[in-house]
Amino acid sequence: MRTIAIIQARMNSSRLPGKVLLDLGGKPMLAWVVDRALGAKRLDGAGVATTTAPSDDAIEAFCESRGYPCFRGSEFDVLDRYYQAALSFKAERIVRLTADCPVVDPALIDATIQEFESTGVDFAATRLPPPWKRTYPIGQDIEIVSFANLARAWNEATEKYEREHVMPYFYDQDGRFQIKVLNAENDYSAYRWTVDTAPDLDLLRVIIKRFGGREDFTWREVLQVFEHEPELAQINSGVVHKTGLDVDERHK
């Protein structure tokens, strides 16, 4: 089956506008996500799903310059954007990634796909967003579903948070789907390696710098950086993580 990573990205972020094209170690953050995803051996490709808003012309132009497939769809009905992008990219299985997770680990993407295949579940992920629990660091966020089940969610999901966050319809009601959440051997959920605010960006720039130009580092190597320099976690310790039930105030 054709397994495609679809990376959602937009310029009009509510807390850090334009973040996906901000510089991170010499290249835009979006490039980090796409390039690291393409390192996953179990993926057949990766594409970007952005919006039709004029502000996202820059994302489309960037994707064209890098040769990344790009689809443009609804700004706030991200579930519809994913469904339409999956059709456009001819994806039979969809791995959902977000453009604000620049150190997502390709090996963990592969592990999530493997778990999805071996268990036969409807939905597999490395985390469920708050108020649910997780054990991998924030920023190692990977979800996978079949196109058939994505289409079911697209047809049936009605709540705003279900449409905006794409996947809650798979897990917000017990028994609706078979789900599998991958867990690390310890609880690393206190680590925040995603970019939603300026302090987050400051931290990720420090992390990237620690690897001296390497781009193939693993999430465990990032963990080792924090174990040697625990004070780094203070850089973005005041950031409140969004929940899976939040919706953008601009979503009418």
Q: What local confidence, expressed as pLDDT, does residue 87 receive?
A: 98
Q: What local confidence, expressed as pLDDT, does residue 252 receive?
A: 53
Predicted model pTM = 0.94
Q: What local confidence, expressed as pLDDT, does residue 130 receive?
A: 83
Distance CA 49, CA 7 (A): 6
> Which residue ranges of the chain lie beneath pLDDT 50?
none
Q: Calculate the CA dihedral of residues 113, 110, 93, 13 and round it to 10 degrees.
A: 110
Render 172-201 in DSSP notation, one character per residue: SSTTSS-EEE---SS--TT-B---SSHHHH
Domains and CATH numbers, the chain: 3-234 (3.90.550.10)
Distance CA 142, CA 130 (A): 15
Distance CA 70, CA 60 (A): 6
Mean pLDDT of the chain: 95
Instruction: Give tens-digit pLDDT for 18-54.
Output: 999 999 999 999 999 999 999 999 999 999 999 999 9
3-state secondary structure 97-109: EECCCCCCCHHHH
Q: What local confidence, expressed as pLDDT, does residue 245 receive?
A: 59
Q: What local confidence, expressed as pLDDT, does residue 129 receive?
A: 85
Show the tokens assigned to 94.
């969809």
Q: What local confidence, expressed as pLDDT, does residue 104 receive?
A: 98
Q: What local confidence, expressed as pLDDT, does residue 249 receive?
A: 59
